[in-house]
Amino acid sequence: MAEIIQRDGTWTFDGDALRLVPGRDKNVGVLRKSLGELAVPLGALAGISFEQGKKSGRLRLRLRDGADPLLHATGGRLTDASDPYQLTVESDRYGVAEYFVDEIRNALLLDEVPSGAVDRYLLPGPAVPLSVSAGDGTASFDGEQVRLEWNWKTEEAKSAAGARTLALADIQGVEWQPSVGLENGHLRFTVRGAPTKAPPKYDPNAVELWGFKKDPLMALVAAAVQARLPHPSAPPPTPAKHLTPPEVDHDALLRRLRELGDLRAAGVLTEEEFTLAKRAILRGM
């Protein structure tokens, strides 16, 4: 087993999976702390790297494309403080970090883990139920439906209709965009039968984000929903095969009718038995 303990967090590898526990250092973002401990199976890894600096270094995990709903929902837009797959390493622990990297790389080679994309999620996504208040509303998800509730800062055009409840079966997609500079972010749901081009500020299926501390937590809601939607790379369902009924041998059925008639004439079959058997044969024709 390999382990590295830092103020930023603790990473442990037992040969089958990586256990990532966030630290309590002030540099650890609220998203990582709220996400909690992660168990990453070896099969979900595409690689690991260690970057050295003068005062500190950084371990980085690279997951296979499509393995984690959180990475899919955030699309590479997580900051370093929010990224659970990075670990800051102090300079006096560089040797431990290099050993940690060697152990994982050797395991990937021995298990012949491919580095390509996958067509199903290998991590479960954030636990539910989940509720986050940020920006102009609150987004809650219980695994079956999303509920959007508005606050006093919501535009009247959006809040006038009241809270929204979206069934998971009606959600076609989820989009999380962090605020950047003066541009606001959002959490938006694409709902079947309700297309919209309205900005998040006015979209009743979106929460607008303004760049405050709790805004990154909306990514957890996005990831939890994403984990329960069809995987974007999953193969299309196989259409049901229509079975062709076997070809009926009419000559054989006619022979069978003649045989039944002979059996009735010989007194082997009663009139009732003959009638029932004849009906069954005619149905087959």
Q: What torsion do the CA atoms of 107, 109, 113, 114 make, to the nearest 10 degrees?
A: 150
User: Which residue would you say has higher pLDDT here, 16 or 241?
Assistant: 16
Is 69 in a helix, a strand, or coil?
Answer: helix
pLDDT > 90? residue 249: no
pLDDT > 70? residue 94: yes
Cα–Cα distances in angstroms (integers) from residue 160 to residues 57, 152, 203, in the given order: 51, 11, 12
Residue 185: predicted pLDDT: 95
pLDDT > 90? residue 252: no
Which of these ranges, 66-80, 157-171, 237-251, has the smallest mean pLDDT? 237-251
Cα–Cα distance for residue pair 25/30, rounded to 1 Å: 11
Residue 279: predicted pLDDT: 72
Is 79 in a helix, a strand, or coil?
Answer: coil
**Which secondary-structure segment (H or E) carries 276?**
helix 271-284
pLDDT > 70? residue 245: no
What are the pLDDT digits (tens) for 258-277?
776 776 676 656 777 677 77
Query: Mean pLDDT over residues 49-78, rounded?
Result: 95
Q: Assess whether the previous peptide bond of 129 is cis (omega < 30° from 0).
A: yes
* Overall residue count recorded for the chain in this entry: 285
